[in-house]
Amino acid sequence: MNTLRIGLVSISDRASSGVYQDKGLPALKAWLEKALATPYRVETRLIPDDQVMIEQTLCELVDEMGCHLVLTTGGTGPARRDVTPDATLAVADRIMPGFGEQMRQISLQFVPTAILSRQVGVIRKQALIINLPGQPKSIQETLEGLKDAEGKTIVHGIFASVPYCIQLLEGPYVETHRDVVAAFRPKSAMRETIN
């Protein structure tokens, strides 16, 4: 069986040098534990805002570790040290613009400065790489989307599309816990699941 492999990369000069504790990796891990019904393995990296190092890390996770999904957090703004999207685009085979568009759409529900985010989604070989925001609350909102008081979806989170994208890239069949985020795929791409 092809086990889902996920790379998690937190990108921060200060957290990687121990100035403060990294919050990105714990937030990503906790969210995946809550959201994924499919067994998976995680590879984590905590690195500084260095474009060459980010590129090398993304290539290692995809090319050597065989990750199907790589989620980065941090370094997506307009500041000079924010080079995560630049590094991601540099190693990409194809760009998936819908991910960045939807992430900004979600964040715009909260802050007008969401338009300053340069987050991107790309494909490298068999993997989907997505740049997420740096704050744990924003990470969750971006992945899950926004729901009203009754739990009805107002804005879809990006993770609803991730399992089908991985499937189209010939990766494992990924299932989620519907109460967290419902994976969407066409009926023709659905499999019977045994509960």
For the chain, what is the domain count? 1
Q: Does residue 163 belong to any structural domain of this protein? A: yes
Structural domain boundaries enclosing 116: 4-189
127, 142, 190, 140: which is closest to 164 by C-alpha?
190
Would 101 be classed as within a structural domain? yes
Residue 33 lies in a domain: yes
Assess contact for 95 and 161: CB atoms under 8 A. Answer: no
Domain annotation covers residue 180: yes
In a domain? residue 194: no
For residue 42, the domain's CATH number is 3.40.980.10
pLDDT score at 193: 60
In a domain, 195, yes or no: no
Structure tokens at 81: 């040290």
- Whether 158 maps to a domain, the answer reads yes
In a domain, 80, yes or no: yes
Q: pLDDT tens for residues 5-63?
A: 999 999 998 888 888 899 999 999 999 999 999 999 999 999 999 999 999 999 999 99
